Amino acid sequence: MKGPLVLDTHAWVWYLASPEVLPKGLVRTLDEARAREALYISAITPWEVAVLAQKGRVAFSLEPRRWLEEALRVRGIGVVPLDAGVALEAAYLDLPHPDPADRFILATALRLGAVLVTKDERLRRYARARSLWG
């Protein structure tokens, strides 16, 4: 797949911590995008992971902050900053999805013209977004 890919939070965590839970073809696609430096996460994603870890909804082999610091150093995965354009895009999405992190991640993909990698059916059904899973 050509062009940039933006990982939803679960896709980023699974890709780095448990790639075996991802569809095999998807792992290959992500590896290829990473090699081209066309794989991204939103800057909100590490925050969402930290919040989920604090609530006990995700666990890592390392202390969560250390895992995040190491994950953010993985080569080939860029972090897209939150800027006013992404914030406005997120605010005006025609999406009955209250999760602010998901809205920012979707808005990031839209602003980049990227494909969103997500298992979340609510995000995958969004008309303006291109998405990928499996």
Q: What is the pLDDT along the chain (134 residues), one digit of tens a residue?
A: 789 999 999 999 999 999 999 999 999 999 999 999 999 999 999 999 999 999 999 999 999 999 999 999 999 999 999 999 999 999 999 988 789 999 999 999 999 999 999 999 999 989 889 999 97
83 annotated as ligand-binding: no
| Residue 31 marked in a binding site | no
CA atoms of 32 and 103, how far apart (whole Å): 26
Q: Domains in the chain, start-ordered, CATH in brackets?
A: 5-132 (3.40.50.1010)
Q: Strand 39-42 vs strand 5-7: parallel, antiparallel, or unpaired?
A: parallel
Q: What's the CA gap between 41 and 47, in Å, rounded?
A: 11
Q: What is the pLDDT of residue 16?
A: 98
End-to-end CA distance of the chain: give it in Å, rounded.
12
Q: What is the pLDDT of residue 87?
A: 98
CA distances from 58 to 1, 51, 53, 64, 101 (A): 29, 9, 5, 9, 16
Question: pTM for this one?
Answer: 0.95
**How far is residue 31's CA from residue 18's CA, in Å, rounded to a whole number?**
14
Q: What is the pLDDT of residue 93?
A: 94
